[in-house]
Amino acid sequence: MRTTIKTLLVVVTCLTLANCNKTPATPQEKYCGIEITGFEVMDLKTMKGKGYTYTKEDKALAGDMMDAVNEKLGTEDAVKFSFFMKDDKTIGIYVITADDQEVVEKVSCLLLENDFNGRLPKERKLLFYTDDHDTLVAAIKTKKETKEEAEE
């Protein structure tokens, strides 16, 4: 009996040590960006709960973004969004839309690839939710530029 317990402890210890050395999974590319991890989504949702106060420039930018989205989709008000954080380097956008992967792809690519005449910060984090606000459809952020891409 003691031998069995000791063997189990050794096996558990070895498995624990083996798993500690594993590198985290590389982020998956999706919709012109990369997926945001679950932990980062939780952090972003906490930021969203604090609210965001729009400046006059932010309101104009949001209007231009909404016009671009409506034009891209060929419909009015199929997507709604709000900023939940913004500084010189990063913007967080909460996007409300139907659970339609085609729409999510079009909108995320538009918002990640267009800087709206330099008015959007380089780092963008998009949380896509359904109209009832309880189903996360996608969480996408800007791809980091690698050294090779920067040199080209």
Look up residue 142 and give its two tokens.
Answer: 């800007």
Q: CB-based burial of residue 108 (10 Å sphere; 0-12 exposed, 13-18 middle, 19+ buried)?
A: buried
Task: Specify the range with the lowest mean pLDDT, choosing from 21-30, 39-48, 116-125.
Answer: 21-30
3-state secondary structure at position 13:
helix
DSSP element (H, E) containing 102 = helix 101-113
Q: What is the pLDDT of residue 132?
A: 73
**HEC string for 46-81:** HHHHHCCCCCHHHHHHHHHHHHHHHHHHCCCCCCEE
Residue 127 scores a pLDDT above 80: yes
Cβ proximity of 149 and 121 under 8 Å: no
pLDDT in the model for residue 26: 66
Supply the pTM of this predicted model: 0.71
What fold characterizes domain 26-144? GMP Synthetase; Chain A, domain 3 (3.30.300)
